Structure 1
Amino acid sequence: MSTMAGRELFVSAPGKVILHGEHAVVHGKVALAAGLNLRTFLRLKPNKNNSTVLINLPNIGTKLNWNISDLQALVPSFQDSLHSEAVGPSSEQLDILKTLAGVSNGSRDTESLAVLAFLYLYLSICGQELPSLEIVVWSRLPTGAGLGSSAAYSVCLSAALLTASGKLAYPEQENIDTTRWTQTELTLINRWAFGGEKVIHGNPSGVDNAVATWGGALRYQAGQITPIERVPVLQILLTNTRVPRSTKALVAGVKDKLLKYPNILEPLLASINAISEECQRVLQVGVDGLSKDHYSVLEELIDINQHHLNVFGVGHPSLDRLCQVTASHGLHSKLTGAGGGGCAVTLLRPDIEAAVVDTVKHQLSECGYQCWETSIGAPGVSLHSSSSLPEDAITSLNGA
């Protein structure tokens, strides 16, 4: 704990959106994911009484603490995690955590999974000398909307606990509002966050935690994750239709259609792959600023991909309505993630008038949707001074 010297840590990490390639990625095609600047924020501070560790999650009304003496007895069961390359809990470790947290075996609710992930990372990372801490995590991301909320949570926890336990150096620049870790340190954060994601999701792809760690945009194909160097930040509207859906059922539906009509639908998968490739090309040539022509291409790619996804049967009347509302104002939208409801992204050109955006947001809200004006290509996990945090984050972290 010497590196902490009793100091508070403030950490944030972004959510994620799939720009192009959802569903096609399941069949070996390229998908592009980008950091979403709706962030999760964490405050860690050493606990004065030295006998407990506390986790507070105000978004879901969860506040729990444990005596460190009780947890210390469990440390030997988690020491292998520190030296194992394949980070993730064993079934024995999960059983220990469930008993500790009072979680029944079949429980998959948000609170249970968040608590299990925290305990796994705390015991595995901190090891022999468990520090007495108070941790508050608050997020602008809705849970269960396919926006990487659990990965942002796991990344924030991993970065904070690795720093608090001295496994990452505390950046020296005291006077800088926001700092990033080195590539080597980010790789370590990402590895542990993937372990946290395994607690929550069982068998995650690793895309969400990679986006939350590195930010920007990345390419994913057949299990290979490649960061895309220096992407421009794009302004978007992100809209949650609030229509629940089953990713598993939607993925199965696409597979069934492909088996039934391979000659018709295989070319569409190839087309979606080409859309991802073209989008990546435009983002990379436009790194110093996208021209009007670049934006026109990005808008056309959005329209084409949305039509393809409808053909695959993962559209929804709520998404059709959203696309109609935005198209009536000259804007272009597509679903992001599994579809069948869920969320959509709408690209905002730099020259669009604020009044138009406000009108669109108002109309989408009247449809019962939740709407955010934000950006993609956001920076990854970052360490902040308290003065550089947004007001709502400070209020939520300190008031919790």
Structure 2
Amino acid sequence: MSLDKYIISAPGKVILFGEHAVVHGKTAIAGSLDGLRTYALFEKRIDGYLELNLPDLGLQHAFLWQTSELPYNLVNNIETKDGPQNLQFNDILLHKIKSIVSNGKDDQEINHIQQIAALTFLYLYTCLKNNSQTLWDGMTICVRSNLPIGSGLGSSASYSVCLATGLLLGFGYISYENNEKQEIKKSSELINLWAYQAEKVIHGTPSGVDNSVATFGKTQSLRFLLTNTKVPRHTKTLVENVRTRLENFPKIVNLILDAIHGISESFKEILEKEISHPSLDKVREIAAQYDLHTKLTGAGGGGCAITLIRNDVSKEQIEIIKKALNASPHCFECYETSIGGYGVSVLDTCIDINLKEFLECEKNKLTEIIGWKYFV
């Protein structure tokens, strides 16, 4: 069955242990966030145009391109149905797409995050459309998210997974209707592989953990308080700083990475049996006053902290802690959530929502209004 409109949803993530070590081949423990997700509305067009709406990134007007201007001739000759396991990242294609991302827009109208989001979409679209026999000649996409951007919660991976899933569906490489376990597994793996290509556009050398969590979801359920310090941080820069230290002081840094690896492995055993910043330290200090334990998540240097909530902690106690974290001068932003939510999912047009309604929907109402029905 070919759809003309559908909604894709993918969760954010938290890394409990091994944030930096995982980039260097060590173990990390991560889980999908329950309720903090990205949503993307895909709608078929036949006029040869691509429209990308990014209202939560502060973009006042949609990106608009003609499908005919994309450099399909630069796409490597691949068999998409087998996945891009052996696909070399196409720097030539990426460079060419960079030159057309801002088509019709003044440089002052768009910021770096908006440019990267558009570049990622066009890169995937060009690669996947090249081998597709679909009748889709263009599409309108609107992306919404209740994930804070640049806070270590996997917002870029959630976005990448939504794009990969929507394009693979639109171009006929996967189907959401086939409920056989083997086909679901095959579709999920294909989504994850293409989402990883998108993450390369955004981060350069991602570990692959974020897109895997956003695709497959699930983990052992843990309840916690997530606190956004609102201190901006740039994952790519923080990861490169660690890489530089590893190159300059390999013996020392490898010992640290091995120690982090050991912590992650120990936590795995516990589950089977049953780089900081002053703001993150402040979250830990406040939570400790209530006998709760906190750590950073993501690359550090700001972003978010996670505080484990034991079963004996009452709702009233949680509200008191949140009030303390929200209070001046910190003004942190708290989310009461858990890990172990569903991975990427698809909702067909049985939900009657149009582009205007989707654009105007309040971010905190996305989950309530949209929900999901079909899991890829």
Quick check: TM above 0.5? yes
Residue equivalent to 1:153: 159
Alignment check: 8 A CA contact 2:225 2:309 kept: yes
**Equivalences for residues 245-264 of structure 1 within 5 A:** 245=233, 248=237, 252=241, 256=245
Distance 1:168 1:272, change over 3 A: same
Q: Which amino acid aligns with 2:33?
A: L
Alignment check: 8 A CA contact 1:24 1:30 kept: yes
Equivalent of 1:370 in 333, 338, 341: 333
Counterparts of 1:343 and 1:388 in 2: how far apart (Å)? 35
Over residues 52-78 of structure 1, what are the superposed CA-to-partner deviations in whole Å (9 max), with x where a residue is unaligned? 22111111133112233444xx33333
- 3-state SS of 2:77 partner: helix
Counterparts of 2:312 and 2:258 in 1: how far apart (Å)? 33
Residue equivalent to 2:114: 111
Instruction: Count residues in correspondence.
Output: 343
Distance 1:200 1:253, change over 3 A: closer
Worse overlay, 342-351 or 94-103:
94-103
**Equivalences for residues 200-219 of structure 1 within 5 A:** 200-216=202-218
1:243 aligns with 2:243: no
1:120 aligns with 2:123: yes
4+ residue runs over 4 A deviation: 81-84, 253-263, 265-271, 385-391, 394-397
Over residues 328-367 of structure 1, what are the superposed CA-to-partner deviations in whole Å (9 max), with x where a residue is unaligned? 1121101112223221111112332111111111111112
Shift, 1:273, TM fit:
2.9
Residue equivalent to 2:265: 277
Counterparts of 2:239 and 2:160 in 1: how far apart (Å)? 26
Worse overlay, 383-392 or 131-140:
383-392
Residue equivalent to 1:66: 65
Residue equivalent to 1:195: 197
Alignment check: 8 A CA contact 1:88 1:195 kept: no
Distance 1:24 1:187, change over 3 A: closer
Q: What TM-score, normalized to structure 1?
A: 0.75
Over residues 275-321 of structure 1, what are the superposed CA-to-partner deviations in whole Å (9 max), with x where a residue is unaligned? 212211222233xxxxxxxxxxxxxxxxxxxxxxxxxxx23221221
Q: What's the % identity of the aligned pairs?
A: 38
- 3-state SS of 1:147 partner: coil
Q: What 5-or-longer segments of structure 1 have no aligned partner?
A: 174-178, 217-230, 287-313
Counterparts of 1:27 and 1:146 in 2: how far apart (Å)? 18
Over residues 209-266 of structure 1, what are the superposed CA-to-partner deviations in whole Å (9 max), with x where a residue is unaligned? 11111112xxxxxxxxxxxxxx321111111112234554576469759977968x87
Counterparts of 1:11 and 1:387 in 2: how far apart (Å)? 12
Alignment check: 8 A CA contact 1:23 1:251 kept: no
Counterparts of 1:358 and 1:192 in 2: how far apart (Å)? 41
- 3-state SS of 1:80 partner: coil
Alignment check: 8 A CA contact 2:6 2:346 kept: yes
Equivalent of 2:291 in 330, 338, 348: 330
1:10 aligns with 2:16: no
Equivalent of 1:383 in 343, 346, 367: 346
Residue equivalent to 2:315: 354
Equivalent of 1:53 in 50, 54, 64: 50
Q: What 5-or-longer segments of structure 2 have no aligned partner?
A: 354-362, 371-376
1:392 aligns with 2:365: yes
Over residues 40-95 of structure 1, what are the superposed CA-to-partner deviations in whole Å (9 max), with x where a residue is unaligned? 11111223x53322111111133112233444xx3333362555543464222112
Counterparts of 1:9 and 1:15 in 2: how far apart (Å)? 20
Residue equivalent to 1:234: 222
Shift, 1:12, TM fit:
0.8
